[in-house]
Structure 1
């Protein structure tokens, strides 16, 4: 299952749940904040009237925006990962600063080292 399918399934489940919880949905501890975010994203006062596909698009947009904000903030705060030839031997080493300990990755190619360091850096920023 890819990310888009996961969001589609979550949107449909949340939409169905919102249909069931009619009384006090805006005060529900989990549904209330979701309805508020969807309302802001879609401009619809009561997003429960929207079809599940609209929820999917709105949730996808909210997720993309949140991830983009985290990455940009991380890049500004810590800088981007970098890679170079490993001075201690064969191959390449990539490193990154971020929350927690520094990230160091060794690999046979520069591309592989840089890719693995970026993945670790992004994971850490999103945790």
Structure 2
């Protein structure tokens, strides 16, 4: 999935006069230039894939360092479990019948928020 997404981003960038000035694609193109020391359009598709994976991994690792990972415990108000996570001022809460289920749901929401969704 990341490979296809990175290749799509590269194709979109190739159609722009200056991809680094594009409000949506520009930050990623700048990231690639800084990472590889060459203009994004001069990079092969593999560099776009590696760069996108690295950016996603960095974003998640930075979020983990800054906010900590989600945690889960028994729900004190009922049956099952509740998991929580923080992303900035926002708290994520998820409930599940099992600890694993609650933690998984909180983790999905946490990663989604870290990545801007």
Root-mean-square deviation (CA, aligned residues, Å) is 2.8
The residue aligned with 1:65 is 58
Of residues 61-70 and 82-91 in structure 1, the stretch that sits farther from structure 2 once superposed is: 61-70
Aligned to 2:7: 8
For residues 27 and 78 of structure 2, the distance between their equivalents in structure 1, rounded to whole angstroms, comes to 52
- Normalised by the length of structure 1, the TM-score is 0.65
- Considering only CA atoms, is the larger Rg found in Structure 1 or Structure 2? 1
**TM-score, structure 2 as length reference:** 0.69
1:103 and 2:92 aligned: yes
Aligned counterparts of 2:27 and 2:70: Cα–Cα separation in 1: 35
Aligned to 1:87: 76
Q: Which whole-Å CA distance do the structure 1 matches of 2:40 and 2:56 have between them?
A: 17
> For structure 1, which runs of at least 5 residues remain unmatched after alignment?
none
Post-superposition, which runs of at least 4 consecutive aligned residues in structure 1 deviate over 4 A? Answer: 31-35
Number of residue-to-residue matches in the alignment = 114
For residues 82 and 105 of structure 2, the distance between their equivalents in structure 1, rounded to whole angstroms, comes to 10
Q: What SS class does the counterpart of residue 83 from structure 1 fall into?
A: strand
Structure whose residues are more often strand by fraction: 2
* 1:97 aligned counterpart, secondary structure: strand
